[in-house]
Amino acid sequence: MSTLAGKHIVLGLSGGIAAFKSAELCRALVKEGVTVQVVMTEAAEHFMTAVTMQALSGRQVYTSQWDSREANNMAHINLSREADAILVAPASADFMAKLLHGGADELLSLMCLARPIDKVPLIVAPAMNREMWNNPATQRNVAQLKGDGIHVLDVGQGDQACGETGDGRMLEAEEILEDLEAFFAPKTLLGKAVLVTAGPTYEAIDPVRGITNLSSGKMGFAIARAARMAGAKVMLVAGPVHLPTPRGVHRIDVRSALHMLDAVQQQVHGADVFISTAAVADWRPARSAEKKIKKDDSGQTPQLSFVENPDILAHVAQSPRAVSGQLFCVGFAAESHDLLAHATAKRLRKGVPLMVGNIGPATFGKDDNALLLVDEFGARELPHASKWSLAAQLIQDISKRMRVQG
């Protein structure tokens, strides 16, 4: 389940063309089980109607500090006391400047100023033209807002409504949602660096053919996302898969097992945790033809011979940092049968503290799975669930082990 379910968020709109994205954001938040209370500035109403936001949030919208619907006529107090967080999206350059100076001449800024600062976090999603964003005044304001404990989201980059191209676009609704979810997630891996491998590898036979496997990479990508939500700095080394990079995760794309080994060796130095979910091809063709292998008239099939690929996990697990406990290694055992026996044997063979068993053919390409966590003390099952839920549970488990280790 999303960390947002059951939360009460005040969604503030200041004036900006990005307000259309706030309608989508509002809908997405409601879908996640969030109660959304919309507050709009007068400028915001030039870009989006209160009627639209009321329909999407299912609640009356507040636009004025003189709103007599409130019995005590103190909308700014009442609204901010109910909230788990205030999210201002779009936050215009002017609105951020106003926040910085404690301006309070309309409901939204007044409510932000009046919020209990230790209880109700304020998150802003800036939205403006690239020159406005890069202007030293805005950058100074952003730094000062952060210094005041306000959570300033990144801006997007690309084509702008004014026809210019650059930084300053408001993030897309799903990006804001992801950042909001990360904001509320328990930071059990804060300050840790996590390296994850995911997906299959592809071993070329010639320029147009190769051998690979059915791994989709979904489990590894979900783990990378869960680790980022837990506050870790995450590096994802991905084999050839068509999956979007989880937000806030650094990604290196590789093709073959040798490429993957190379990338892992370069990235593993700073890591505290290595999670090897990749379905690395065990063998590669002894030689990959430079040109496409053609049929001839002889009816003979090409004779392929294979060499074994390096075992990336075993290699890392034998490194001095892993052996001394500075690097915690986690393997994934993809089996077709006798999961416990195979995962137990594989854990010992690879020399890792934790081996996560799963039935490969039952899960490859699917959105759900079931896991068996095998360590030196025995096995624990994480029953059938979505890959996302299992990834979050696994990251919690690893976080606990890291805490015990110190």
The residue ranges that bind ligand CTP (CB under 6 A) are 197, 257, 276, 278-280, 282, 309, 311-313, 331-334, 346, 350
Rounded Cα–Cα distance for residues 96 and 79 (Å): 20
Cβ closer to ligand CTP: 210 or 331?
331
Shortest Cβ 366–ligand CTP spacing (Å): 17
Which residues have a Cβ under 8 Å from the Cβ of 238 and sit 6 or more positions away?
Answer: 197, 198, 199, 217, 220, 221, 251, 252, 253, 254
CA distances from 5 to 2, 34, 84, 141 (A): 6, 5, 11, 32
Shortest Cβ 194–ligand CTP spacing (Å): 15
Cβ closer to ligand CTP: 112 or 322?
322
Which residue type, as a one-letter code, is found at position 371?
Answer: L
Rounded Cα–Cα distance for residues 317 and 346 (Å): 13
Shortest Cβ 329–ligand CTP spacing (Å): 9
Which residue type, as a one-letter code, is found at position 334?
Answer: A
Is the separation of the CB atoms in 18 and 63 below 8 Å? no
Is the separation of the CB atoms in 24 and 57 below 8 Å? no
Containing H/E element for 289?
none
112 catalytically annotated: no
Cα dihedral 40, 44, 45, 47 sign: negative
Cβ closer to ligand CTP: 233 or 346?
346
Cβ closer to ligand CTP: 34 or 278?
278
Cβ closer to ligand CTP: 11 or 312?
312
Set 26, 112, 162, 329: catalytic member: 162
CA distances from 187 to 19, 53, 195 (A): 30, 32, 17
Shortest Cβ 285–ligand CTP spacing (Å): 15
Shortest Cβ 305–ligand CTP spacing (Å): 18
Q: Give me 66's structure tokens.
A: 């003189």
* Positions marked active-site: 162
